[in-house]
């Protein structure tokens, strides 16, 4: 079994899932994008994650995306695959993605937003028992945990080897890391703009949606973060990251839509988003094109 603590340092590439104009999968585009991204020294690529619109796809579509990505990457880096929905569907996805060649799973919170702690633990236990892969939990949205809850979850689910934060609460995440210690790998996951904070509290890697358009920038952020060069990070944030995130913040879901539009501007396969996300407005394309000119030296 792959050990995330040893394998995952630096930055995770986080490919979008390209769609055709009729919203069907663009598997040829995905293959091309994953092959291109694998030419950069990411520690992994995460397929069918949040940026990959996992919740808008069927389990079969997500498994097919993993199969295509594994073929395109061809052993150059591990593939982490996203699983979601409910216990039965997540277990089905876990088994299918393991067969398709994934080496670890990113477990999204289940559909039920008022689930009790014991129910969440059982959700993870079932997924862990369904396959032989190490698990990572993405603690996004309502699924927030205390240090004691993290400890209990790790005691019950031996295959849980990585924690991807999606809360952005550095005070709480630092406390979790300090109290739980080195039992698992700690990863930052809410956005490139939070990378300085994640590295400051002790993360060994972060997940980057900017990897879809500017791999050199993502890798530079990780390099400076791991070295503790926060002055250098501040310069990157000011010039590149914050202007992009200001555009993304204009509408819920733009964290995917804006990245797909930027990819299209730069000649990568991306296509539209599937509902309930919405595509960016035509009036915003000019601003995004201008910003992509700034990104020129990082592409």
Write the pLDDT tens digit of every residue in 28-41: 999 999 999 999 99
Output phi, psi for 235, to 5 deg. Answer: -65, -40
Write the pLDDT tens digit of every residue in 163-182: 999 999 999 999 999 999 99
Write the pLDDT tens digit of every residue in 59-94: 999 999 999 999 999 999 999 999 999 999 999 999
Confidence of residue 149 (pLDDT cuts 50, 70, 90): very high
Residues contacting residue 94 through CB under 8 Å, at least 6 positions apart: 83, 105, 127, 130, 131, 133
Task: Give the model's pLDDT for residue 183.
Answer: 96
Residues contacting residue 97 through CB under 8 Å, at least 6 positions apart: 62, 63, 66, 81, 83, 105, 131, 133
Task: Give the model's pLDDT for residue 171.
Answer: 97
What value does the mean pLDDT take over residues 231-255? 97
Task: Give the model's pLDDT for residue 289.
Answer: 98
What value does the mean pLDDT take over residues 256-263? 98
| Residue 200 to residue 204: CA distance in whole angstroms | 10
Task: Give the model's pLDDT for residue 205.
Answer: 98
Domain boundaries, given as residue ranges, for the chain: 4-228
30 membership: H or E segment, kind and range = helix 27-37
What value does the mean pLDDT take over residues 244-264? 97
Angle between helices 59-73 and 27-37 (to 10 degrees): 40
Q: How many CB atoms lie within 10 A of CB 23?
A: 13
pTM summary value: 0.97
Q: How many CB atoms lie within 10 A of CB 168?
A: 16
> What's the fold here for domain 4-228?
TIM Barrel (3.20.20)
Closest CA to 44 of 270, 226, 205, 184: 205
Write the pLDDT tens digit of every residue in 114-146: 999 999 999 999 999 999 999 999 999 999 999
Confidence of residue 5 (pLDDT cuts 50, 70, 90): very high
| Residue 298 to residue 181: CA distance in whole angstroms | 35
Contact 92, 62 (CB under 8 A): no
Write the pLDDT tens digit of every residue in 200-227: 999 999 999 999 999 999 999 999 999 9
Using the structure block, give the residue that is written with the tokens 């930055």.
11
């Amino acid at each position: 079994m792959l050990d995330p603590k040893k394998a995952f340092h630096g930055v995770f590439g986080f490919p979008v899932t390209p769609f055709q104009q009729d919203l069907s999968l663009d598997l040829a585009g995905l293959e091309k994008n994953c092959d291109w991204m694998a030419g950069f020294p990411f520690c992994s690529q995460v397929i069918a994650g949040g940026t990959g619109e996992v919740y808008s796809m069927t389990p079969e579509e997500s498994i097919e995306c993993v199969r295509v990505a594994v073929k395109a990457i061809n052993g150059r880096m591990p593939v982490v695959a996203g699983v979601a929905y409910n216990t039965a569907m997540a277990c089905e996805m876990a088994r299918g993605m393991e067969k398709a060649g994934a080496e670890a799973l990113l477990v999204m919170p289940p559909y039920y937003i008022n689930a009790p702690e014991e129910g969440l633990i059982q959700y993870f236990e079932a997924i862990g028992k369904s396959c032989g892969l190490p698990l990572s939990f993405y603690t996004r949205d309502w699924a927030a945990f205390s240090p004691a809850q993290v400890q209990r979850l790790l005691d019950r689910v031996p295959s849980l080897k990585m924690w991807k934060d999606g809360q952005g609460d550095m005070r709480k995440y630092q406390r979790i890391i300090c109290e739980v210690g080195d039992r698992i790998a700690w990863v930052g996951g809410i956005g490139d703009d939070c990378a300085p904070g994640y590295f400051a509290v002790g993360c060994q890697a972060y997940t980057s949606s900017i990897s879809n358009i500017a791999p050199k920038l993502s890798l530079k952020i990780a390099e400076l973060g791991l070295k503790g060069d926060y002055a250098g990070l501040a310069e990157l944030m000011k010039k590149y990251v914050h202007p992009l995130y200001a555009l993304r913040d204009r509408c819920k879901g733009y964290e995917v839509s804006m990245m797909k539009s930027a990819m299209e501007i730069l000649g990568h396969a991306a296509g539209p988003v599937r509902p309930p996300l919405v595509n960016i407005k035509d009036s915003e394309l000019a601003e995004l094109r201008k910003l992509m000119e700034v990104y020129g030296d990082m592409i």
